Amino acid sequence: MKVQVFFVLQIPFFSYFNSPLFHSLPSLLPLLPISFLLGLALFPDDPLLRLGLFLNGSCPGGGASNMWTHLLGGSLDLSIMMTFISTITAFAAVPFWVLVIGPVILADGQFTIPFFDIFITVISLIIPCGIGILIQIYFPKTVKYFEKLLTPMSVFNLLFIFTFGIYAYLYVFEIFTWRMLVSGIALPSLGYLSGMAIAFLFRMSTREIIAISVETGVQNYTIALIILQVTLESPAGEISAAVPAAATLFTPVPLLTMLVIKKVYDRYKRGSSVDITVDPKDSKLREVTSAARGQEENGLPAKTDKLSSNGGLDNPAMDLQDEAA
């Protein structure tokens, strides 16, 4: 009896190791070494920019990843859970990596962790998800109307974030270099590819691969900006913040490209799958009409057959029989 109870209790526990959420957890780590090595390659003589790039990789997932996952047809449930877990673990992970690796990059830095901003991020995830669960439980008939609003609201939020981000970081364009541009595009792009590779390794579905790829590449760069602005004095804080600002501006570029490709492909697929059926009667009538038109063009009298009341072609012999009757 004890053995049976033991196995009954253990089966649900082990089933979690086969869940998509468990397989997606390794994808939360690749940006840390990627950002550190990319900083060494792009900014070998500039510790401020190297620090900004590393802090990018240590940030948890951002809320924009959920909207991009929905627009690209990924698993929204998995995306939200990954964002929630990465944000919860950020209370311990961000201080650990910043306080351990930060002094290696910038020896005299007095780092401050924005725990309150991390807490606000967690609350901003819990409250909307809680409201959605309550709506599904108590007002299930209204769910389909909210689903129709999900896509336009996601597009509006992403456009607002992108345009407001450009306005908020206009000063970055004055100090932009090609290395900053490369870092802003390379870091999220490498995140997308590494997340995709990990998902393929665990043989996950296409929707789960999309969610993990987007979640790995899209980060909450606001936390990195706050750490830099609080830790470093002006103008060092503004200079190092140029790297997270560049990542904020260029993170949507690969995703927008994939979205356009997806829309074009879906439209082409729908157009090529249209089933065109031709009525045999219409086809026969079209042949008779085209033959008559061809005779007229050649100077011959057009020989047209009349349609009978039953929709077929008249038979001359049957017409003679009718007249004799």
Report domain extents, the chain: 20-272, 280-324
More confident residue, 29 or 60: 60
Amino acid identity for residue 21 in this structure:
L
Question: Would you state the pLDDT for residue 308?
Answer: 45
d(CA 313, CA 293): 17
Please state the rounded mean pLDDT for residues 14-32. Answer: 56
- Residue 273 half-sphere exposure toward CB, CA atoms < 13 A: 6
Residue 204 — pLDDT band, cuts 50, 70, 90? confident
pTM to 2 decimal places: 0.70
Question: Would you state the pLDDT for residue 237?
Answer: 79
CB under 8 Å to 84, separation ≥6 — which residues?
Answer: 122, 125, 126, 129
**CB contact at 8 A, 295 and 304:** no
More confident residue, 54 or 147: 54
Kindly calculate the radius of gyration of the chain based on its CA atoms and give it in whole angstroms: 31
d(CA 254, CA 218): 11
How far CA 246 is from CA of 151, 179, 242, in Å, comes to: 26, 10, 6
Locate 245 and state its tokens: 């600002």
Q: Is 152 helix (H, G, I), strand (E, B) or coil?
A: helix
Flag whether pLDDT at 11 surpasses 50.
no
CATH top class, domain 20-272:
mainly alpha
Q: Is 112 helix (H, G, I), strand (E, B) or coil?
A: coil
Flag whether pLDDT at 285 surpasses 60.
no
Q: What are phi and psi of 61, to 5 degrees?
A: -65, 150
CB under 8 Å to 35, separation ≥6 — which residues?
Answer: 53, 54, 55, 56, 57, 58, 187
At 225-269, the pLDDT tens digits run 888 878 787 778 788 888 888 888 888 889 989 989 988 988 888
Question: Would you state the pLDDT for residue 27?
Answer: 54
**CB contact at 8 A, 108 and 253:** no
d(CA 103, CA 54): 12
> For residue 139, with 0-12 CB atoms within 10 Å meaning exposed, 13-18 middle and 19 or more buried, which class applies?
exposed
At 171-194, the pLDDT tens digits run 777 788 889 889 989 999 998 998
Question: Would you state the pLDDT for residue 41?
Answer: 92
Residue 22 — pLDDT band, cuts 50, 70, 90? low
**CB contact at 8 A, 116 and 230:** no
